[in-house]
């Protein structure tokens, strides 16, 4: 199976190829460089593997939540490729992708919990709780956006670990949440390589959709903009 995955849902910009179980990735921290970097990454990946776009079997992308602009960029590129190549698309939650990365990076034990937090701005977090099921993240409850003071651990799990840059606001979280967290890795952000590996499993489970159903997931219904001091 040959699958191309993209992620621009955070300050990271990445593209990855899943080729018969192997994953090759291009990744760069570029908060304002997604549009400039993404398609060259795709072209380089395909060229290095001796592949053409028509050789692909499916596409995948981190559908959010995350940066509104970033999520829209990946969505637009994926939809354009999907329509042009007549390929199915596998949307993957950005929170789920980080939970998957945390399982490996933090050596989360079988059945252990991963609480993923992203900074959603406006004094809120994107929040998702997952359980390690045979190396894959299983969502507990629902993904949500809320103030740090309102986060909850969605399952009765003995050992929890935290992942994502939203954990910078740990001091504002309820004591019953913070006290149950064994360790935290604030450096983990979504990566296309994680999206690709999750998407390959989802594709095998029949979770691919046509291009028109490959939609961004914002969680927050309204995008509010707050004027910063000194900005016009």
* Domain spans of the chain, in order of start: 2-94+190-213, 95-185
Q: Does the structure show a pLDDT above 90 at 113? A: yes
Domain 2-94+190-213 has CATH 3.40.50.2300: no
The 10 Å CB-count burial string (b at 16+, else e) for 171-199 is: eebeeebbeebeebbeebbbbbbbbbbbb
Residue the block writes with tokens 């981190």 = 62
Tokens (6 digits) for 39: 């398609």
Q: Does the structure show a pLDDT above 80 at 225? A: no
**DSSP assignment string, 150-211:** G----S--S-EEEESGGGGGGGGS-HHHHTTEEEEETT----HHHHHHHHHHHHHTT--B-G
Dist CA 58 CA 51 (whole Å):
13
Query: Over the Cα atoms of the chain, what is R_g?
Result: 17
Region of residue 71 (phi > 0: left; psi between -120 and 50: alpha; otherwise: beta)? alpha
Distance, CA of 7 to chain centre? 7
Q: Does the structure show a pLDDT above 80 at 215? A: yes
Tell me what pLDDT residue 99 has: 98
Q: Does the structure show a pLDDT above 80 at 227? A: no
Tell me what pLDDT residue 222 has: 46
What is the per-residue pLDDT across 122-136, written as a single tens digit (0 to 9) for each? 999 999 999 999 999
Average pLDDT over all residues of the chain: 94
CB atoms under 10 Å from CB of 139, counted, come to: 16
What is the per-residue pLDDT across 160-214, written as a single tens digit (0 to 9) for each? 999 999 999 999 999 999 999 999 999 999 999 999 999 999 999 999 999 999 9
Dist CA 109 CA 221 (whole Å):
35
Q: Which residues pair with 18 in a beta bridge?
A: 3, 23
| φ and ψ at residue 212, rounded to 5 degrees | -65, -20
What is the per-residue pLDDT across 132-158, written as a single tens digit (0 to 9) for each? 999 999 999 999 999 999 999 999 999
pLDDT band at 220 (very low <50, low <70, confident <90, very high): confident
Q: Are 103 and 114 in contact (CB under 8 A)?
A: yes
Fold observed for domain 95-185: Nucleotidyltransferase; domain 5 (3.30.420)
CB atoms under 10 Å from CB of 119, counted, come to: 18
Give Cα separations from 123 to 48, 147, 166, 173, 229 (angstroms): 43, 6, 10, 12, 16
Query: Is the fold of 2-94+190-213 the same as that of 95-185?
Result: yes
């Amino acid at each position: 199976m040959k699958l191309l995955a993209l992620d621009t849902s955070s300050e990271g910009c990445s593209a990855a190829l899943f080729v018969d179980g192997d994953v090759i990735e291009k990744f760069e921290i570029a908060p304002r460089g997604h549009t400039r970097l993404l398609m060259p990454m795709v072209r380089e990946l395909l060229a290095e593997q001796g592949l053409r776009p028509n050789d692909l079997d499916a596409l995948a992308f981190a559908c959010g939540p995350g940066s509104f602009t970033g999520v829209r960029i990946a969505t637009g590129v994926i939809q354009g490729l999907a329509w042009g190549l007549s390929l199915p698309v596998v949307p993957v939650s950005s929170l789920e992708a980080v939970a998957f990365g945390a399982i490996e990076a933090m050596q989360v034990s079988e059945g252990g919990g991963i609480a993923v937090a992203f900074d959603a701005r406006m004094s809120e977090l994107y929040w998702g709780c997952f359980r390690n099921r045979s190396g894959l993240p299983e969502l507990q409850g629902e993904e949500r956006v809320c103030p740090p003071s309102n986060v909850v651990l969605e399952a009765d799990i003995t050992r929890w670990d935290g992942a994502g840059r939203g954990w910078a606001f740990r001091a504002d979280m309820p004591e019953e949440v913070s006290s149950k967290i064994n360790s935290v890795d604030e450096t983990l952000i979504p990566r296309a390589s994680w999206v690709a590996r999750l998407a390959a499993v989802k594709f095998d489970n029949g979770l691919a959709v046509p291009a028109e159903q490959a939609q961004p997931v914002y969680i927050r219904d309204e995008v509010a903009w707050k004027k910063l001091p000194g900005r016009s």
